[in-house]
Structure formats: C-alpha cells, structure tokens
Amino acid sequence: MTATIDIRTGDLDDERVLRLLNDHLEDCFATSPAESVHALDVSGLQTPDVTFWTIADAGEVVGCVALRELDPEHGELKSMRTDASVRGRGLGARLLEHVLAESRRRGYRRVSLETGPQEFFAPARALYAKYGFEPTGPFGAYRLDPHSVFMKLELPAG
C-alpha cells in the first residue's frame, strides 16, 4: 500500500463513484433475490442520516463506504465496496477502520450491518468478523430473511 491512499467525503456526482455504486448494485442483484437486496442507490445515500466516503489511491477512486445513523447510539455500515482491481490490498479494512473511528467519535455504542450469506460475500463477512463483528438478528427495519446475514459490533462507552 502506498502513502497516496486518501479517504474523504464522497462526491455522488462523480462518474467514478457512480460506477462503483452501479457495480455494487449489479453484484447484489446478481447474487440475491431483488426483495433481499438492501444496498442503497444514490438517492438513498443522499439522505441526511447517511454519511458517504470514498477511498482513492493516487487520485483514483477505488472504493466507498457509508454510515447510516439509526439512532444517537447506533450506526449501520452501508455500501462498502472496493473495486475488483484492488481487492486484497487492505483498502476494505481501511474503510472499515474509518467508519469505526467515526462511529466512536459520534458516541455510537453499536454498529450493525446486513450482508449476504452467499459465497460472494464471504470475504466481507470474514473482514467484519476479524474486526469483532458477531452474528445477530435483524435490526432497524430489517426482517428475518434467509438471504441476509446480520452482524453487530458493540463499542465501548467513552
């Protein structure tokens, strides 16, 4: 990894960002039934309860992540994606670390996420588990779904 890695608030008008999000949605719909796809499109990422970031390497946008505030103590990880060309370089971990640091800064006591049980999502589930996320039941507006895996990370107070 080079020193040219930069995480910043994402520009949802940037064509590179739109490509990443489109790829993310296409993979989700190719892997899961439509009623079980909970990935956010651009309009979902533009709501006041969502903060969206991108990660760039030498100025090239290669990943993104979002954090949705469910309540003042609970955040939800959304739209985590790295471009296939950079997978395995630790950029997903950098995005996750960024979201967790922001969650702590905001005073969240829990960060939750929904992902898929399919093999395609196994690397993501492994990354989340490495950072201490554990299986849980549905949260927020989610309902039990065989095409969803729910995970949570309890954050220490203070």
30-52 per-position pLDDT tens digit: 999 999 999 999 999 999 999 99
Distance CA 149, CA 158 (A): 28
Q: Which of 97, 91, 102 is nearest to 62 (CA)?
A: 91
Distances, alpha carbon 20 to alpha carbons 33, 46, 93, 108, 134, in Å:
20, 16, 17, 28, 27
Residues 104-111 have a mean pLDDT of 98
Find out whether 24 and 62 touch, Cβ atoms under 8 Å. Answer: no
Confidence at residue 157, expressed as pLDDT on a 0 to 100 scale? 80
Distance CA 32, CA 13 (A): 27
Alpha helices in the chain (DSSP H): 15-31, 42-45, 91-106, 122-130
Contacts with 129 (C-beta within 8 Å, 6 or more apart), sequence order: 151
Distance CA 124, CA 130 (A): 10
Residues 144-152 have a mean pLDDT of 96
Q: Which of 30, 27, 89 is nearest to 55 (CA)?
A: 89
Residues 152-158 have a mean pLDDT of 90
